[in-house]
């Protein structure tokens, strides 16, 4: 009961740092609509693939959080740099949040449980309470592997540097209009795509497995997130590198891992049909 009370109290306090960042990025996305060009749009799409797929989906999620495959350090660090450009916080905080989500899914300790409502899971959890601002004890408990790595610790302190550098590159190529599309519009699109995994895939979609949570497989979110929307499959076998199990469940991130495997960059890949379930579940009728 005490945990529930503390949770409800934390929801009332506004996280002014996160609110400021979210508002600024959304506001600077508006002028991008008035300087549209196919070149700028391409910059956003390419950037979204590099950051959303390689950085967040592969780096932050499947590699760092679940260790679904092993990769050489140069690749792990590169993917982490790409993930930092999503402005979804540094890798240790992001990974800790997701590991907490899986351990305490749909409870008061789940950072973005859908039980308080769709919008809490989508964005309100970012704007209220501690959000991903975990204390040292929590990080030590959930991400001791990352805290032992000097690169991850250093990048966590300066995780905003990669996106600043990308802004200079985009400005040199296409001026301020490309910065608006390639940085601000891209970040906002990436935010909502990722947040839909937290919200929509726990509300709308089909369930192949009766997991202990409300996760579903949502084809639309899967398209937006390069395969992360096959969320019920993921919650059934969290450490699997493959989320799209059927031929029609397109999983770009899984295909990329297979390419990495062919290149010798990905090894010891954990897949759905060879591991034991990580949660209690039964086949859906």
Per-residue pLDDT band for 283 (boundaries 50, 70, 90) equals very low
* Predicted pLDDT at 130: 87
Residue that wins the pLDDT comparison between 273 and 83? 83
pLDDT at 279 over 90: no
Provide, rounded to the nearest whole percent, the portion of the chain with pLDDT above 90. 87
* Predicted pLDDT at 73: 98
158-185 burial string, b = 16+ CB within 10 Å, else e?
ebeebbeebbeebeeebeebbbbbbbbb
Give the model confidence (pLDDT) of 154-169 as tens digits: 999 999 999 999 999 9
Q: List the one residue out of 7, 185, 152 whose CA is nearest residue 81.
A: 152
pLDDT at 1 over 60: no
Provide, rounded to the nearest whole percent, the portion of the chain with pLDDT above 70. 91
Q: Which three-class secondary structure string do you get for 157-196?
A: HCCCHHHHHHHHHHHHHHHHHHHHHHHHHHHHHHHHHHHH
DSSP characters over 15-35: -HHHHHHHHHHHHHHTGGGGS
Per the prediction, the chain carries an average pLDDT of 92
Length of the chain: 285
Partners of residue 230 on adjacent β-strands: 217
Q: How many CA atoms lie within 13 A of 28 on its CB side?
A: 19
H-helix or E-strand containing 73?
A: helix 73-84
Average the pLDDT over each of 27-36, 84-93, 206-215 and give the range with the smallest value: 206-215
CA distance 218 to 235: 13
Both tokens of 90, joined, read 């540094």
How many domains, in total, are found in the chain? 1
Mean pLDDT of all residues in 91-119: 94
CA distances from 60 to 88, 97, 282 (A): 10, 11, 28
Both tokens of 68, joined, read 């679904």
* Predicted pLDDT at 8: 55
3-state secondary structure of 245: coil
Give the model confidence (pLDDT) of 139-193 as tens digits: 999 999 999 999 999 999 999 999 999 999 999 999 999 999 999 999 999 999 9
In contact, 47 and 182? CB cutoff 8 Å: yes
* Predicted pLDDT at 281: 46
* Predicted pLDDT at 129: 86
Quote the domain boundaries for residue 112. Answer: 2-283
Non-local (6+) Cβ contacts of 105 within 8 A are 113, 212, 213, 235
* Predicted pLDDT at 6: 52
* Predicted pLDDT at 273: 62
Give the model confidence (pLDDT) of 56-81 as tens digits: 999 999 999 999 999 999 999 999 99
CA distance 45 to 181: 9
pLDDT at 284 over 80: no
Whole-model pTM? 0.91
Both tokens of 225, joined, read 């997130």
Per-residue pLDDT band for 285 (boundaries 50, 70, 90) equals very low
Mean pLDDT of all residues in 18-32: 97
Mean pLDDT of all residues in 224-250: 95
Per-residue pLDDT band for 26 (boundaries 50, 70, 90) equals very high
């Amino acid at each position: 009961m005490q945990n529930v009370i503390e949770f409800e109290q934390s929801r009332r306090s506004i996280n002014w740092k996160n609110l400021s960042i979210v508002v600024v990025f959304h506001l600077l996305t508006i002028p991008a609509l008035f300087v549209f060009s196919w070149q700028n749009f391409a910059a956003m799409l390419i950037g979204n693939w590099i950051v959303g797929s390689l950085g967040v989906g592969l780096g932050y999620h499947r590699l760092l959080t679940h260790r679904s495959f092993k990769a050489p350090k140069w690749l792990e660090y590169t993917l982490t740099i790409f993930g930092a450009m999503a402005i979804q916080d540094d890798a240790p905080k992001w990974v800790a949040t997701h590991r907490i989500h899986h351990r305490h899914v749909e409870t008061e300790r789940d950072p973005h449980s859908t039980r308080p409502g769709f919008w809490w899971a989508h964005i309100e959890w970012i704007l209220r309470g501690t959000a991903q601002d975990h204390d040292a004890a929590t990080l030590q408990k959930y991400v001791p592997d990352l805290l032992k790595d000097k690169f991850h610790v250093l990048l966590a302190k300066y995780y905003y540097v990669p996106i600043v550098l990308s802004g200079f590159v985009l400005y040199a190529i296409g001026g301020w209009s490309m910065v608006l599309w390639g940085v601000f519009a891209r970040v906002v699109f990436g935010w909502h795509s990722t947040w839909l995994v937290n919200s929509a895939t726990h509300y709308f979609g089909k369930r192949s497995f009766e997991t202990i949570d409300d996760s579903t497989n949502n084809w639309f979110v899967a398209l937006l997130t390069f395969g992360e929307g096959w969320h019920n499959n993921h919650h059934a076998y969290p450490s699997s590198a493959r989320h799209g199990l059927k031929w029609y469940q397109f999983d770009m991130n899984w295909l990329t891992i297979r390419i990495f495997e062919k290149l010798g960059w990905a090894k010891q890949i954990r897949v759905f049909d060879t591991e034991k379930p990580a949660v209690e579940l039964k086949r859906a009728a």
